[in-house]
Chain A
Amino acid sequence: MLEVKNLHAGIDGTEILKGVDLSVKAGEVHAIMGPNGSGKSTFAQVLAGHPAYEVTEGSVAFDGADLLEMETDERARAGLFLAFQYPVAIRGITNAYFLQSAINAARKERGLEELDTLEFAELLEEKLEAIGWDDSLIHRAVNDGFSGGEKKRNEILQLAVLEPRLAILDETDSGLDIDAVKAVADAVNKFRSPDRAFVVITHYERILNYFTPDRVHVLAGGRVVMSGDMQLALDLEARGYDWVTNGATVA
């Protein structure tokens, strides 16, 4: 589903990603771990198409298409979703209105009829029921005055409504309490399916107590320096990052 090859990217002339390789198949859950400043968040932003980052080398194929040639919104409509670590607040726009606009953008792309407010409300109710949440966030302005946990839940709600093929969850440098971590992990477990893949970016392994990734990668110095299974995450927890990254930064 996602084939990243030798990806180099940076911002303001500074290279941050220095040759990332990653292969994710449908149905898989990957965890990307690494110390602060290793390029984890940059990797997520580059995949989503943030205009501030410049890709200088390498390729990214998403379901066979050249992802780097697509605009951010085209990537989203093609099924790529990034759950932001720090989602911005959109004042004056309710969550419901925002989600309706987003889902209709995707439907338009697929040649489907747009949902009117009533149809959308039904869909939303269904989704909320599926994840077991009430509608308290729905009529508030998007992320405006939300707590960290509420923002996180809101990102997951968007994921639930938009049903992406590939969900990238950026948990870098997370200051979340345990409930928020669980909410994210629950979402992974709930929406895990044979045609959907997850890439969960995290600094701490604690989130992996709640779901088991198929693959664990260590990103350091802008490259994937080690890959393995859940055991790698446990080793990192026991030994820290130094034993993997020392070699990487020197190299």
Chain B
Amino acid sequence: MTEVERPTPVAAEMKAAASLYVDAFERFVGNGAASVPNWLRDRQRQAINEFAELGFPTTRQEGWRFTDVKAIARADFALAPAVDASTIASSVRQYVVGGGNQHVAVFVNGYFAPSLSSVDRLPAGVRLGSLREALDDNVELVKPHLAQLAETGGHPFATLNTAFLHDGALVYVPERTVVEQPMHLLFLSAPVSGSTAVSHPRALVVVEPGAQASVIESYAATDSHQYWTNAVTEVVVGQNAKLDTYRIQRESTAAYHTATTRSVQARDSVFSLIAFTFGSQLSRHDIHAVLDGEGSECTIDGLSMLRERQHSDYHTVLEHAQPHCNSWEYFNGVFDGRSRGVFNGRIIVRPGAQKTDSKQTNNNLLLSQHARADSQPQLEIYADDVRCTHGATLGPMDDDHLFYLQSRGLSRAEARALLTYGFGSEILNAVKIDTLRTDLDRLVRARLAEDGSPS
């Protein structure tokens, strides 16, 4: 007798749950408004087929052991439609963290909202706005990069995003162009009457050789409704280019947030990403950064501050494909209540990527005995002349730290608040844009104050 591998009931359910999205896809492509060039349509068909094959991941799958997305699979999300931007016009500024002189492109349920955006002071040749528009008027800008990176590697949510790609953000900085002010991509979710909705925000950021820019990506909602954001960002950094990015996830605590960020860097380029996670009940962010040119540098930092039953999962991959590249990764997590943080940091050093220097640190502070964090470093090194280090800490506040602060007159509560703030400010200090750092600092302090510790 041959043994037949039978799917578990959950695995079968999670695969079946994909069919709802396959049906939605057929309706989506049948809708003329979603028309895209044939090459992209082909990719989308490929993507939805792949998603149907993969289904929603189960906790039996490697990479999803700590993050259970059953609730998303069972919620039957409908594709979020465009909404009337004028209803949120008056409140849009409050979602723009960092304010000031930023160039701001606003997307509501994944659709570019020009009336809410301010993108008219950009240097010549710089594009900040609708991806859809670029598909129509300058497809050559987009075609070499769009959907080239993100859905590789069998990531179900990235493939789903690609399948439903219709609009989104394009940031394009031409060669040797310096954009002084940050460019802000604000992705807002607005409620849809009669259903819970999913939007698939998409961003493509291309910084050509010798150019410099900073991009802020933020995710928020106009109210505390339940929804699902499934985002994908692709980043291409050209030779000698320098790109700093910031990602601020402040979704509603009723929301689900899944995201994939893929970056690829050419020779002597510098790329950084600092990811802040405050919102959503369940979030999962896969970051895969490829150092694909000699002498390039990459920094991936993160701060997660969770409470109640929030769950956040970061899976990061730093892939050294070429020699003489440096990467730094510094993730701090502060977990209160019954919240849970997952950090999985993989460093891959490809054969021949000699003189790689990579350092990974993950510190987790558990503010409550019911909070939990899991930290997993993974080193895959196929070259011999490299330096890769990793370190992780995990646990409640250190008594000796508390004692030291109390011995200087701070009450126990003040000492706890200060130490917690220190976890946050370590990451905040890496933010290079002053107005952004100030605003984020305020967010962190407000969060600490709400949690009952004076800041």
Contacts and interface: CB of A to CB of B under 8 A. Distances in A.
Interface of A: 48-52, 71-73, 75-77, 81-82, 84, 87-88, 90-93, 98, 101-102, 105-106, 109, 141, 158, 162
The 6 A-B pairs at the shortest CB distance, nearest first, are namely A92-B422, A92-B426, A76-B409, A72-B406, A105-B409, A102-B408
Given A92-B425, A98-B418, A82 B407 contact: yes
Given A51-B403, A84-B404, A87-B404, A92 B409 contact: no
Interface string B419-431: 1011111100100
Contacts of B419: 90, 93
Nearest to B363: A91
Interface of B: 398-401, 403-412, 414-415, 418-419, 421-426, 429
A109 B410 CA distance: 10
B403 A72 contact: yes
B399 A72 contact: no
Contact of A90 (B399, B405, B409, B411): B405
Nearest to A72: B406
B410 A101 contact: yes
Contact of A162 (B403, B408, B411): B408
A102 B429 contact: no
Contacts of A102: 405, 408-410
Nearest to A76: B409
Contact of B411 (A73, A75, A91): A73
A92 B410 contact: no
Contacts of A82: 407
Contacts of A76: 406-409
Contact of B409 (A50, A77, A87, A91): A77
Nearest to B410: A105
A101 B404 contact: no
22 contacts: A51-B403, A52-B399, A71-B412, A72-B403, A72-B407, A75-B407, A76-B406, A76-B407, A90-B404, A90-B418, A90-B422, A92-B424, A92-B425, A92-B426, A101-B410, A102-B405, A102-B409, A102-B410, A105-B408, A106-B409, A109-B409, A141-B422
B169 to A, nearest CB: 32
A93 B409 contact: no
Most-contacted residue by chain A among B398, B407, B410 (CB, 10 A): B407
Contacts of A81: 407
B429 A162 contact: no
Q: Which of B406, B409, B422, B424 has the most CB of A within 10 A?
A: B409
B427 to A, nearest CB: 8
Contacts of A91: 422-423, 426
A101 B414 contact: yes
B399 A93 contact: no
Contacts of B418: 90, 93, 98, 101
A93 B429 CA distance: 10
A154 to B, nearest CB: 11
A91 B401 CA distance: 10
Nearest to A83: B407
B423 A92 contact: yes
Contacts of A84: 404, 407
Contact of B410 (A73, A88, A141): A73
A158 B407 CA distance: 11
B430 to A, nearest CB: 11
B425 A51 contact: no
B431 to A, nearest CB: 13
A84 B403 CA distance: 11
Contacts of A87: 404
Nearest to B419: A90
Given A90-B419, A141-B426, 6 more contacts: A73-B407, A73-B409, A75-B407, A90-B422, A91-B426, A105-B409
A228 B403 CA distance: 33
A48 B405 CA distance: 12
A77 B405 CA distance: 12
A77 B398 CA distance: 22
Contacts of A88: 398, 400-401, 404
Given A91-B422, A92-B422, A71 B406 contact: yes
A189 to B, nearest CB: 23
A49 B411 CA distance: 13
A105 B423 CA distance: 21
B394 to A, nearest CB: 15
Contacts of A71: 406, 412
Contacts of B405: 90, 98, 102
